[in-house]
Chains A and B, each alone.
Chain A
């Protein structure tokens, strides 16, 4: 469970450039809820995700994960619970490392990175099986550098990497924004499948209202740092793209 209590984030506080990116956000997200966040540019969606991930520290308020106060934990510590998918497909993977090395890091996300060699034939087989599920033909290219793959391929691998180790929460910041329409649809479907199959709590930022209507069981609209609409389960199911469009006029 994710609990945000009166979370505010102000950039450049006390200067003429002051921006109140988040204003007293109170939000409780239950386990296995899949929350879609929509809103105009600058409405605070990414800041909300960054504050939950620990990339940005809130100016005030508290954040609890499974009841534990993690308000000021940095991102690498919160990775115990949280896996992240980035808008830029190149950010979620290390391009100079092999696919296998990338998966090894993902497989020990919640563990200590110790002085032992973790890549053995058993691990390779496991990675091969997981990658084969994507059906992209990448399972025979484990030793290849990540940098030789396309953005879509890398984003697909990032999704699989997110569930190589225990994860409770997955944060997706416009994961398909940089991809062509066909690949984007594929990535969204795969993300949805993984969230369902592994029973994850998901938060997805998107500008695609079609995706927003299609996926998730809760939807938030943000405006000027506040949550102005919060629609859950049954009601969400009834919402159409047209209903969502009306939010933006």
Chain B
């Protein structure tokens, strides 16, 4: 398979992750580290259920649900027990490591001879086309669903919560509840990404989530750079930006790897790219 096409496919698998980070980081302004654990959780739950029950819908639903529970727990610890958001996320992420390990019973589960979501649409005979179609369909569904939710009255309340807490409480919104629900949705999406990627790679691994938050953040920020340049402000446009950002990020990583750089440096390169993107606004200001 074409090297860059593979990168795009992997990128499509990571779009749910990008959306999840967009919600926690951009809408709620909470750097939610739970992500690293809930992404793995999604992969792990998927693998365990696929091995045991051979049911893709069940595996995917359970993964998303598990992610929602993990995210809500972080939200609960943050809002009700009044623990710093960053620390609340780290606590849940750390606890999830043990949960994931005990669910799997070992550190890695290969997905061989089990059905995966990419077996659907069997009428498309070309495997790559089939995977691509399925991933694009999932991406479009998520895009439409999220942009609709964020435009509803509930969505406006969610967006205002991360922006002006005093105002939104004066408007009758229970901000704690909003944060718990919001982090739940965010981590549900992240877990979905973990599920999609583990099925794509053909295994779930206890370490698959390490540094994943940076990957998501990088996607969101590259997308924002694009939307800022194009002066896009609508919610739909910003979500499309996340999709574009995720794909661009994957292509950059693929390009870097194609230069023959040792894959062991992948995380280092990822961090460097994200740092660069994060610094773009500062550098721009300094130049003006």
Contact = CB atoms under 8 A, between A and B. Distances in A.
Given A97-B163, A115-B154, A117-B151, A75 B169 contact: yes
A66 B248 CA distance: 59
B159 A96 contact: yes
Interface residues of A, number: 36
A201 interface: no
A100 to B, nearest CB: 9
Highest count of chain B CB atoms <10 Å: which of A102, A105, A117: A105
Contacts, number: 91
B164 A118 contact: no
Interface residues of B, number: 23
Contact of A104 (B153, B168, B175, B233): B153
A199 interface: no
Contact of A76 (B149, B156, B174): B174
A91 B167 contact: yes
Contact of B153 (A76, A94, A114): A114
A220 to B, nearest CB: 23
Given A76-B169, A91-B167, A114-B153, A105 B174 contact: no
A75 B172 CA distance: 7
A183 B167 CA distance: 22
18 contacts: A74-B169, A76-B173, A79-B170, A91-B166, A92-B166, A92-B167, A97-B156, A97-B163, A101-B156, A102-B160, A104-B153, A105-B171, A108-B153, A109-B170, A109-B171, A114-B153, A116-B153, A117-B152
Interface of A: 53, 74-77, 79-80, 82-84, 86, 90-97, 101-102, 104-106, 108-111, 113-119, 145
Nearest 8 CB-CB pairings of A with B? A79-B172, A113-B157, A94-B164, A94-B163, A94-B160, A113-B153, A96-B163, A76-B169
Given A102-B160, A106-B171, A113-B156, 14 more contacts: A76-B170, A79-B172, A90-B164, A91-B167, A92-B167, A92-B170, A94-B167, A94-B168, A105-B160, A108-B153, A109-B170, A113-B153, A113-B173, A114-B153
